Amino acid sequence: MPKLLVTGSSGLIGSEVVRYFDIMGWELFGVDNNMRADFFGPKGDTRWNQRQLQESCKQFKHIELDLRDRVKVLELIQQIRPDFIVHAAAQPSHDLAATRVFDDFDVNANATLNLLESCRLYKPDIVFVHMSTNKVYGDAPNRLNLVEKHSRYDFADPEFYNGIREDFTIDQSKHSLFGASKLAADILVQEYGRYFGIKSCVLRGGCLTGPNHSGVELHGFLSYLVQVNLTGKEYTIFGYKGKQVRDNIHALDVARFIEQFFNYPRIAEVYNIGGGRQNSCSILEAFEIVEAISGKKMNFVYDEKNREGDHICYISDLSKMKKHYPSWDISKSLESINEEIVLSWKNRLH
């Protein structure tokens, strides 16, 4: 069976990919050093997920390794020589990046370079999938014409009804330092494809979510929102009246697309991956959905100051993905995603 190396294997996407390919009988290696707990404290700890993988996934081997360590990464790829890499490890918060700038760039950009160069030297026929982010577009989407509706902002121009396409500008905008480090990694993956011929793609994620997310205030929109609702704590809305829009995709649907890409790889591709319009919601709309599932009212306060580089309305246009991989589509609705997250947090909190 093929060998798959997953970085950030204890995180949301990484763990979902491990579980998905374990069922298929792949030989699996997961790299994770729980740096999320270092970034976000005890609430960001992912060891619980690591333990679940080690207990439930027969083909899985955990590797404790810091991807910033270039020598060890080179040694790892030389030793394993995987057929497929899913690079999901990251510093994921644009708020936190401003306070830990070197850690942010080293984890997001330099670690990606370490992996790519190791693959070029020791496994040039690899298939490489990189989890990027919609923050590579900076705040440029905020310059689009928007219309304010009762509970959300939306695109005023019909051209953007289906969302943001992959040819949208990444230049002349405020990205946050997180967005800049992720963009550096994004471009590196593309360049190793175009320059060295490595089969690769970057997936520019919208809100990636699911029941295995360790959501915190600085990262993990729906997971954190559900946690606050169930515990009766107070949620802070930062700006835009709570009408800012995100499109949400279940980690399983990300894993399903990753399988498609491995089966039919391309070189230096870019895809916007999110829930699309069908799975989009504002913060206010998310409150209503979660309240209906949990039966608890949402306690919240409003801070007029929005987060730096925050998108007012972002929806991923999935047209290119569906054109290249017509057998793939969204399988998890927004309601079912929230139901799974509520159940997961109830189990974790009791």
The tens digit of pLDDT for each residue in 6-53 reads 999 999 999 999 999 999 999 999 999 999 999 989 988 999 999 999
Place of tokens 């993956």: 189
Binning pLDDT at 50, 70 and 90, where does residue 303 land? very high
pLDDT over threshold 80, residue 216: no
Average predicted confidence (pLDDT) for the chain: 95
Average pLDDT over residues 52-70: 97
**Per-residue model confidence (pLDDT) at position 95:** 84
Residue 276 contacts residue 322 (beta carbons within 8 Å): no
Measured distance CA(309)–CA(301) in Å, rounded: 21
Choose among 106, 116, 110: nearest CA to 38. Answer: 106
Measured distance CA(344)–CA(269) in Å, rounded: 34
CA distances from residue 74 to 8, 78, 120 in whole angstroms, order as listed: 17, 6, 10
Dihedral angle of Cα 337, 343, 348, 350, to the nearest 10 degrees: 160
**Per-residue model confidence (pLDDT) at position 218:** 65
For the ranges 62-71, 211-220, 224-233, 252-261, the lowest mean pLDDT is seen at: 211-220
Binning pLDDT at 50, 70 and 90, where does residue 348 land? confident
DSSP-assigned letters across all residues of 174-200 = --HHHHHHHHHHHHHHHHHHHHH--EE
**Per-residue model confidence (pLDDT) at position 268:** 98
DSSP-assigned letters across all residues of 98-165 = TTSHHHHHIIIIIHHHHHHHHHHHH-TT-EEEEEEEGGGGTTGGGGS-EEE-SS-EEESSGGGTT-B-
φ, ψ (nearest 5 deg) of residue 237: -90, 125
Domains of the chain: residue spans and CATH: 3-349 (3.40.50.720)
Counting residues of the chain whose pLDDT is more than 70, the rounded percentage is 100
Average pLDDT over residues 336-349: 93
pLDDT per residue as tens digits for the range 247-292: 999 999 999 999 999 999 999 999 999 999 999 999 999 999 999 9
Measured distance CA(158)–CA(313) in Å, rounded: 14
**Per-residue model confidence (pLDDT) at position 265:** 98
Angle subtended by helix axes 70-80 and 111-122, to nearest 10: 40
Average pLDDT over residues 221-244: 95
**Per-residue model confidence (pLDDT) at position 213:** 81
